[in-house]
Structure 1
Amino acid sequence: MTFGLGTFSAADGVPFPGLVVEGRVYDLRPDFSDTLSMLNDWDTSLGRLRELAAALPGEGVALDGLRPLPPVASPQVLMGGANYYTHLEQLHAALLRKQGDQRSDEELFAEGRKFGRSRLDGEPFVFAGLPRALSGATDDVVLWGPGVQHDWELELAVVIGRGGRDIDVKDALDHVAGYTISNDISTRDVMSRPDAGMADYLMSKVRPTFFPTGPYFVPREFVPDYRKLRIQLKVNGELMQDESTDDMIFGVEHLIAHASKILELQAGDLLLTGSPAGNAGHHGNRWLVPGDVLESGITGLGVQRNRCVAPE
């Protein structure tokens, strides 16, 4: 039996760890106090979860009757960037055009494709997020200023089940507990800092509510091939992102191995794997505004629905 795992709250607002089976959520207390403690001994926990899924405790509650919180109180949030071929081609072509390149769109995209393929000769690009930016799969996204060019980036995210340093690529998937959905909301017009000559990810990417994640994570054993998933995002019903994870440049294994060379991974860490093509810039700079509704999904990992709101 397949199942998901997450953190939920009912009307009383008290969070609890839940086992998700066929659209219903089963309270995992007292077996587990929260999902992070579950991941701290993942091999043992997974065996117990299989037992619970085979003999479901109680009647459960409909998933749509609960508020999904971020599935795990992740100690660290790591983010892969520039990691989809088509997305990178679009970004590189747009940059060349912005810099005054007068070649045809076809020529610019050919140059972008060449640039995207060259990434394999380098290393993955991974940077840090902030756990406090995580929000739930149905929570509102607050479009904080400064900046008004708010963009979406739907991503496959990895939940780490076993930490470590200097992890070998061939062993990396053994460190994966499961997969979930995360949307990396980014404010483009405050990302570049000409005065410092750098990108400002603190300003543009890690504001509160900017990482809707969940509604749950699915154990790795139920996702036989993470490169055969479909990522789709709609804004007010209009399809904006629609891509296969097979377009990923560096796979999950390489991202984990690379990140573990920089820092020690911990159980419960969240690793975003990059966003595919189809951001706001590709849709005529159609930035997010209050009132917009984001509907997002990845094959087998559930769906998100987030309303964009102005700061109070």
Structure 2
Amino acid sequence: MKLATLRTPSGSHHPAVALDDGESYLLLDVAWRTFTGTEPTHLRTMLSVIDGGDTARSQIEDVLRAAPSEARLDGADARLLPPLPEPRQIRDYGCFPDHFRNARARRDGVPPDAVTLPPIMLERPLYYLVNRLTLAGDGDDIAWPTYSRVRDYELEFACILARGGRDIPASTAEDHIFGFTIFNDFSARDTQAEEIASGLGMSKGKDFDRSNSFGPWIVTADEVGDPYRLDMVARINGEEVSRGNTASMHHRFADLIAFTSTSTTVHPGEILCSGTVATGCGLETGRYLQPGDTIELDVTGIGTLRNTVVS
């Protein structure tokens, strides 16, 4: 099942099921009112769908079977928003070691296999917290910050938690996954380099309006199947510039959930991002974005996330 959040021509926002890869949408809250004559409890927003668990899933299946025509919207009339517009938390990890090897090799002018990563990067799925208020969705323009001239994309995907918990064992952690989406971690590389050199970590290099793009929708875990056999491709203005596969993840989502929940409670509606796949950004390849460029990220079985960078 592909679940989206969209804005209709009237300006109202709705959680929806994408039908035929976005040819049309079933507005879940409208469908529930039409089907039952009552206000929806679990189908008001994407976060309430996640919180509703099995009950919400059953209600979605009910309205899909009934499929009231009043609740359908043509895809051409829908404006996709971030599929989870109000995540409870976002964390971004470093699950692909070759991304770091490639980036450091390019910086230092050495072959990637000559780069030795700090052991902690392979031992633990380290992460940083992402600004959950600076989101973009499929089709949104990204207005680049005035303080930066080096515009980069990052080819990532992410899982959304269905259930929370604390000290979750890796052996059962994947039971906590609601679904998957695509993530583009836009990065002001010149600013980021200055900030990292300070020893204080990242700040405005990652934190500006619409710097965190998700979409086009959330594909539920049962539909994705094995998330570690997915091709990941990036294109700039239609030209392929990056290609990888989720099989190369060193730390997998079960590892992320287990590590993050150690002595820390995680919650449904949190987003855990994979980090950049190898070759998945300009920092590795030297191909950066220019004003007017459209960047497309494609992940098998999930879809394509498109954004255009504007000055």
| TM-score, length of structure 1 as denominator length | 0.88
Partner of 1:39: 50
Q: CA offset at residue 56 of structure 1?
A: 2.6
**Which residue does the alignment assign to 2:114?**
111
Maintained 8 Å contact 2:9/2:77: no
Q: CA deviation at 1:195?
A: 6.6
The question of whether the paired residues in 2 share the 8 Å contact of 1:143 and 1:289 is answered with no
For residues 258 and 229 of structure 1, what CA distance do their matches in structure 2 show? 23
| Percentage identity across paired residues of the two chains | 28
* C-alpha distance in structure 2 between counterparts of 1:262 and 1:241, whole Å: 37
Encode CA deviations 1:101-151: one digit per residue, 9 max, x unaligned: xxxx5xx32223x649x5675101111001111111111111113121111
- In the TM superposition, residue 86 of structure 1 has moved relative to its aligned partner by 2.8
SS of match in other structure, 1:227: coil
Give the Å deviation of 1:231: 1.1
Q: Aligned partners of 1:243 and 1:301: how far apart in 2? A: 15
Q: Distance in 2 between matches of 1:58 and 1:261?
A: 47
**1:54–1:89 Cα change, 3 Å:** farther
Q: Is the 8 A contact 1:87 1:277 kept in 2?
A: yes
Confirm whether residue 181 of structure 1 aligns to residue 182 of structure 2. yes
**Structure 1 CA distance, aligned partners of 2:264 and 2:187?**
24
- Mapped to 1, the partners of 2:263 and 2:148 lie a distance apart of 31
Q: Contact 2:122–2:250 at 8 Å: present in 1 too? A: no
> 2-side partners of 1:121 and 1:237: how far apart?
34
- State the match for 1:11 in structure 2: 9
Question: Structure 1 pair 259/145, CA: closer, same or farther in 2 (3 Å)?
Answer: farther
Partner residue in 2 for 1:226? 227
Is the contact made by 2:148 and 2:190 (CA closer than 8 Å) also made in structure 1? Answer: yes
State how far apart, in whole Å, the 2-side matches of 1:120 and 1:150 are.
25
What is the aligned partner in structure 1 of residue 26 from structure 2? 26
Distance 2:113 2:196 in 1: 28
How do 1:46-195 and structure 2 match up within 5 A?
46-58=57-69, 60-72=72-84, 73-81=86-94, 83-97=95-109, 105=110, 108-112=111-115, 115=117, 121-192=122-193, 193=195
Structure-to-structure mapping, 1:209-224, within 5 angstroms: 209-224=210-225
Which amino acid in structure 2 is aligned with residue 9 of structure 1?
A: R
Gaps of 5+ in 2: 34-39
> Which residues in structure 2 correspond to 1:240-251 (within 5 Å)?
240-251=241-252
Q: Is the contact between residue 78 and residue 270 of structure 1 (CA under 8 Å) also seen in structure 2?
A: yes
Distance in 1 of aligned mates of 2:192 and 2:282: 15
Tell me the SS of whatever aligns to 2:175: helix
Structure 1 pair 125–262 and aligned structure 2 pair: CA distance change class (3 A): farther
Aligned-partner Cα distance in 2 for 1:275–1:178: 19
Q: Secondary structure at the match of 2:215?
A: coil
Q: Which residue matches 2:255?
A: 254
Matching residue of 2:36: none
The amino acid that maps onto 2:219 is V
**Residues 175-208 of structure 1, C-alpha deviations (whole Å, 9 max, x = no match):** 11000111000111111336732332x2111211
Give, as a single letter, the amino acid of the residue that structure 1 aligns with 2:56.
Answer: S
Residue type of the alignment partner of 2:98: T
SS at match of 2:262: helix
Q: Which segments of 5 or more consecutive residues in structure 1 lack a partner in the other structure?
A: 98-104
Aligned to 1:196: 198
Task: Indicate the SS of the match to 1:265.
Answer: coil
What is the CA distance between 1:262 and its match in structure 2? 5.8
TM-score normalised over the length of structure 2: 0.88
- Shift of residue 54 of structure 1? 3.7
